[in-house]
Structures are given as C-alpha cells and as structure tokens.
Amino acid sequence: MLIVVQISENSGKLGADASKGFVLGGTSAGGNIAIVLSHLARDEALSPLLTGLYLNVPLVLAPEAVPEKYLPLYKSREQNAYSPVLSKAFMDMYTEAYEADLQSYVWSPINWPGGEKAHAGLPRTYFQICGLDVLRDEGLIYERVLREDHGIETRVDVYPGLPHMFVPNYPSHSSSKKYPKDTLAGLGWLLRAPAN
C-alpha cells in the first residue's frame, strides 16, 4: 500500500494529475496484488481515490476458498489443467512456493471481509481473461460479483481458446495483434470521466 500512497502523494512530481484519473493494475499474481491494494485504498480512504482497476488474467480465488454459491461456476482449474503456459501443476507449485494461507482474503480477495459491502465502492474495473487459462473462472466470477452484487462498472475482453499470458508466448497469433489494441481501449475506458 505504501507505494500507492507514495504515487498518490507525489503524482505532481511524476508529471501526472491523479485527480483526473488514478488507475492501478496488474497481470496474473500482480492482478491479485492490485485487487488487494484497491480494497486497502478504499478502506483507508486514499486521496485522490482510485478511479480504475486493470486486471489482466488475475489470480483471485484459491480452489480451497471458493464460496459455495460459486462452486458451479469454478471449473477452469480442472478444465484447463493441462493448458500450455500455466497448467494446474505449475499453479500448484507456485501456491506451495508462496506458502500462502489459502483461506486468507489477501490470497483470495473475493472473500474480502465486510459481508454484503465487501466490494462496494471499488473503482470501475477492466478485465482481460483467457478462455484456456486455469484462472479463467475466478476472473469471470469476480467480474460478476462487482457488476451484479455491487453495481460497479466493468468491461471484459475474453480471448477464447487461448492460454494464460498468450501474447508473449504466441506473438504471431492474430489475437496477439488485437490484444494491445484492446488494452489501450480498456485503459482509455478506465480513464474516461465517470457517468453522472
């Protein structure tokens, strides 16, 4: 959280005006960190407020911590277990190396404390999700929670049949050419003025 506070307090020195738009984002485990920081920024009343969150193939929810109502939607860890780039075996290895508390809301931020208001007041969020990714369903579930349960504006680009972090691994694929355009459009959407 310290780095976010430092950026917020020193945005002018960086040549930026955070009051015109303050977006935080991350990819994969970095997406997990961005989600946690967005909650902390809200809970600690960071000023200026975050106005957008960019989540690219985010890690949101350990299989051991899936709320019962989302179990029928949480299939990608098994369906995409042998996916290239990030398989279930690799994900299990990373989780073990982290020695993560799988029940912790810091590891599985979809379970942030606060009951029905756990995710209320978060910024609009842009997701990029890959169809052949072991993390696919946690991104889709989190998007649904934000949009349906909390009325948060979301935007989603899904890349069917493509694995986690496909762009650097398959640069000649047609979607790898489309991806940066989607990213720029999504970031532009995050930075636009809020609807009145």
User: Is residue 7 a part of any domain in this protein?
Assistant: no
Confidence of residue 115 (pLDDT cuts 50, 70, 90): confident
CA atoms within 13 Å, Cβ hemisphere of 102: 12
- Expressed as residue numbers, the domain containing 70 is 21-187
Burial of 39 from C-beta contacts in 10 A (0-12 / 13-18 / 19+) = buried
Cβ(1)–Cβ(40) below 8 Å:
yes
Q: How many domains does the chain have?
A: 1
C-alpha dihedral over 160, 166, 171, 177, to 10 degrees? 50
Per-residue model confidence (pLDDT) at position 170:
94
User: Is residue 193 a part of any domain in this protein?
Assistant: no
Helices and strands, number each (H, E), in the chain? 8, 4
Per-residue model confidence (pLDDT) at position 174:
93
Among 43-47, 77-81, 169-173, the minimum mean pLDDT is found in: 43-47
29-43 and 2-9 are packed helices; what angle lies between their axes, rounded to 10 degrees?
70
User: Is residue 16 a part of any domain in this protein?
Assistant: no
Per-residue model confidence (pLDDT) at position 22:
82
User: Is residue 5 a part of any domain in this protein?
Assistant: no
Cβ(128)–Cβ(182) below 8 Å:
yes
Per-residue model confidence (pLDDT) at position 2:
45
Cβ(139)–Cβ(129) below 8 Å:
yes
Per-residue model confidence (pLDDT) at position 138:
96
pTM for this model (two decimals) = 0.90
User: Is residue 192 a part of any domain in this protein?
Assistant: no
Q: Which of 166, 5, 136, 154 is nearest to 73 (CA)?
A: 136
What CATH code is carried by the domain that includes residue 87?
A: 3.40.50.1820
Q: Above 50 in pLDDT, residue 37?
A: yes
Confidence of residue 12 (pLDDT cuts 50, 70, 90): low
Among 25-29, 79-83, 192-196, the minimum mean pLDDT is found in: 192-196
Per-residue model confidence (pLDDT) at position 145:
96
- Average model confidence (pLDDT) for the chain? 90
